[in-house]
Every structure is written in structure tokens, then in C-alpha cells.
Amino acid sequence: MTDRFSDSGFNTGRRRVLRGTALLALGAAAGAMQCAFAQGYPSRAIRIIVPWGPGGLVDVGGRVVGDALQKAFDHPTAVENLPGAAGTLGAHQVAKATPDGHTLLMGTSSIAIDVAGGRALPFDPTRDLAPVALVADTHSVLIVPPASPIKSVADLIGAAKTKPGELSYGTPGIGSPAHLFSELFAQSAGVRMLHVPYGRAPVMNDLMGGRLDVMFATIPVALPQIRNGQVRPLAVTSARRFPLLPEVPVVSEAGVPGYQATQWLGVFVPAATPNEIVQRLHAEITKAINSPAVASALQQRGLDPRTGSPDEFKRVIAADIQKWAQVIRAGNIKLA
């Protein structure tokens, strides 16, 4: 009979224990190094990359976050606009940056749309970027020219059913949030409309001039024209009425039950950034968004303040990817 406590068995067990002990020690050392690193954070200026041009909604969010972090850390914070490739140029710069919490991305729902549509990218947003904090939602409003006979969502659905594929709607481009919001509306209402992708051309001018029948525009973009009577609002895309447009119903109560389409703004860092730094950034950003002054400033610009933990943010992204993937498949939309 073989002795189960033989030398060979004992030595094998001993090596396993030693190996396990060594791995635990390495893990503890790595954790201690991360904690020490986080305690010295930030050690240089923080860069917030805004992957769109200055003056827009994403830029507003980036500057709100920049001001908050500069005050919280008493450390220089710079906002850099890096537009190009529908927001992916700036996102790629952050994805490949050193993961030390000094390079941040002000990202949008376009990230989830890119993943949902399988857009060819030089990086993997779900693998190479880590969500830190939600900042705000930006809702859209369904608008028509002021002289349009369409006075309601019901009118729009009726006109679209009477003339299948003839009513035109404009967007910044294929796969843009405005495109998918419009496609979701058409699929939910059971109608077909004509998509006119504009690229960088001014879509709003053609709508006001009656050369387009309808469009989904972000509330901050459309608000001046609505107030000046240059366009007529039919409904907003949010779950509840927007404070700056209290008289305008939401799409779901105006004729398309269950419809909701919102863009979020949120902060990301490179994926390997230490969790202690992610949590510190999240805490400071969330504290700022929850402050009455910052919340009011965002609302006056047409943004709806929103917060959530990094894990909650991940779930929001995952839900968006699933939602827009279904819309893209149903609409046979091809993202270049």
C-alpha cells in the first residue's frame, strides 16, 4: 500500500502551498502599490479629452467636469477638444493613454452605438475604456417646419402611412443618434420615412426652410428655434416632460407607447486605471453633479443631470448596446 503521506506527495503539496502563498503576497504587494499610487494622485495636470468641437453639449459636460476636478484636487485640469471620426479619434487617444487617471474622456452614447453597429474602430471601447461616472442625459425633440400641416405625433404617423417612404427627415449622418432615434420611431410606429444624411451641412436650416419634413434634434440645439417660432415641437424623447418645454408631451404619451431615446454623457478612463483612482474620480464628479449650482447650470443648457456608480454606468452602456443593435438590425443600417 502506498503511503499517502510519502515524501513525493508531501513535497508536491508543499510546493502548491508555497506557490499560493507567493501569489497572495504578489497580489497584496500590487494592491499596496496601487493604494500608494492613488494617494499621490494627481501628480500632474489632468487632461479631459472632448472628442467633439468646442461649444457643443459634450464640450459643456467636459468643462463642468474639469471645473469640478480642478476645485476638488486643487490641481490644473485642461479640457482638450479633439474632434474627428464621429468622436472616435479622441476616444482612441484616451484608450491608448497611460492608465494613471491623468487622461479622461468625456464620452457619449455614440460609443454604445459604435459597438452595437459593429463600426470598425482601432480600439475596443468595452475592453479598452473603463466607465467612471455618468454626468447628464441630453434628450431630443421631434420638430417640424412652422408652416407644416403636421401638428402632432398622430398627424405625423398618419402622413407617413399615407405617403410611405416620402416624408423626409434629416440627420448628421448614418448611425448618428438622430438617425437611430428616427429609425426607432419609425419602427415603433410602423411607418417608413426617407432618411437624408447631411454630414456637416446645417440640417436645421433646411428644416426651417421647409426642405425637410421632420427631424429629431437635441433640445439644446432646437430650443432657440422653438422659442423664436422657427420650428414647431411635437414631442420630446425622454421618459418625462422636460422642464424647459413643459407644454410639449413625450413621444410615448403622444402616440407611440414605450418609445424612449436618450443620449448620455459620461467620463471614461483607460481600462487598466487603478480602481482607487476610478473611485476618487467618481466621487468628486458625482458630488459636483449633485450640487445645486452645477445641476442648475446643466439644466439651463438643456442637459438633465444624471449620476451613477461605475457599475451602474456599465449596465447603462450594455443596455444601450442591446437596444441599438436591435434597431440597427431591423433597419438594415450599415455603419462604416
* Strand residue runs (E) in the chain: 46-50, 77-81, 103-108, 129-144, 168-171, 194-197, 215-218, 232-236, 262-270, 304-305
Specify the residue for cell string 482612441.
92
**pLDDT recorded at residue 32:** 44
Mean pLDDT, residues 224-251:
96
Top pLDDT among 23 and 240 is at 240
* 91: Cβ contacts below 8 Å, ≥ 6 apart: 49, 51, 105, 107, 111, 123, 125, 129, 268
Q: What is the dihedral of CA 218, 236, 336, 125, to 10 degrees?
A: 80
Q: Is 89 a residue whose pLDDT tops 70?
A: yes
**Average pLDDT of span 162-179:** 95
Confidence of residue 86 (pLDDT cuts 50, 70, 90): confident
Q: What is the mean pLDDT of residues 55-59?
A: 90
What mean pLDDT is predicted for residues 261-288? 97
Percent of the chain with pLDDT over 90: 81
- pLDDT at site 264: 97
Mean pLDDT (whole number) for 257-261: 96
What's the CA gap between 275 and 332, in Å, rounded? Answer: 39
C-alpha 173/C-alpha 205 separation (Å) is: 16
pLDDT for 13 equals 54
pLDDT at 302 (0 to 100): 85
Per-residue confidence (pLDDT) for residue 230, from 0 to 100: 97
Residue-level pLDDT at 1: 43
Q: Count how many residues are written for the chain.
A: 336
pLDDT mean over 239-243: 92
Q: If 0-12 CB within 10 Å is exposed, 13-18 middle and 19+ buried, where does residue 279 land? A: middle
Q: Which domains, from first to last, does the chain contain?
A: 46-137+263-330 (3.40.190.150), 139-253 (3.40.190.10)
**What's the average model confidence in pLDDT over 140-156?**
97
pLDDT band at 85 (very low <50, low <70, confident <90, very high): confident
Burial class (CB within 10 angstroms; exposed 0-12, middle 13-18, buried 19+) of 149: exposed
More confident residue, 70 or 18: 70
pLDDT recorded at residue 200: 73
C-alpha cell at 281: 474620480
pLDDT at 300: 85
Is the pLDDT assigned to residue 35 strictly greater than 70?
no
Residue pair 324/117 in contact by the 8 Å Cβ criterion: yes
Per-residue pLDDT tens for 97-107? 999 999 999 99
Coil, strand or helix at 264 = strand
> pLDDT digits over 172-201, tens only?
999 999 999 999 999 999 999 999 999 877
Question: How would residue 21 be classed by pLDDT, with cut points 50, 70 and 90?
Answer: low
Q: What is the mean pLDDT of the chain?
A: 90
Q: How far is CA 155 from CA 39, 214, 236, in A?
A: 60, 12, 16
Indicate whether this model's pTM tops 0.75. Answer: yes
Q: C-alpha grid cell for residue 228? A: 423664436
> Residue 11: pLDDT above 60?
no
- For residue 55, the model assigns a pLDDT of 87
- For residues 206 and 15, the model is more confident at 206
